[in-house]
Amino acid sequence: MWVHLFSDGAVARNSGSAFAGSVVRDPVGNWILRFNCYLGRCTPFEVELWGILDKLLILLNKGYKRATIQIDNLEVVNALTVKGSEDS
């Protein structure tokens, strides 16, 4: 079964403290899991990547093998997108 991972990160301007949060839904939109984590000091790029990686590892450990990822950071999308990897 495909699940949909919606992930977002935030970095405090004054301290650099970073937080990531995600929600996972099934194909019809039912809520499955929710995650929040503190990542220490990170750049916006790093917090988005760590947020995705941590959540994908949790999903794999829970038996979910396929996920779409939705984020709002084009730099991260470009870094994760490889031509010809639509099934990866």
Residue 67 has pLDDT above 80, yes or no: yes
CATH value of 2-80 in 3.40.640.10, 3.40.50.300, 3.90.1170.50, 3.30.420.10: 3.30.420.10
Q: 13-42, pLDDT tens digit by residue?
A: 999 999 999 999 999 999 999 989 999 999
pTM of the model: 0.81
> Within 10 Å of residue 4's Cβ, how many Cβ atoms?
15
Q: Tell me, what's the pLDDT at 51?
A: 87
Q: How far apart are CA 37 and CA 50, in angstroms?
A: 10
Given the DSSP bridges, would you call strands 17-25 and 2-11 parallel, antiparallel or unpaired?
Answer: antiparallel
Determine the distance from the C-alpha atom of residue 1 to the mean position of all C-alpha atoms in its chain, rounded to a whole number: 18
Q: Tell me, what's the pLDDT at 36?
A: 92
Q: How far apart are CA 62 and CA 5, in angstroms?
A: 14
Range name among 11-15, 20-24, 52-56, 83-87 with the lowest pLDDT average: 83-87
Angle at 14 between CA 75 and CA 77, to 5 degrees: 10
Q: Tell me, what's the pLDDT at 83?
A: 63
Q: Tell me, what's the pLDDT at 60?
A: 95
Q: How far apart are CA 73 and CA 9, in angstroms?
A: 9
Q: Domain locations in the chain?
A: 2-80
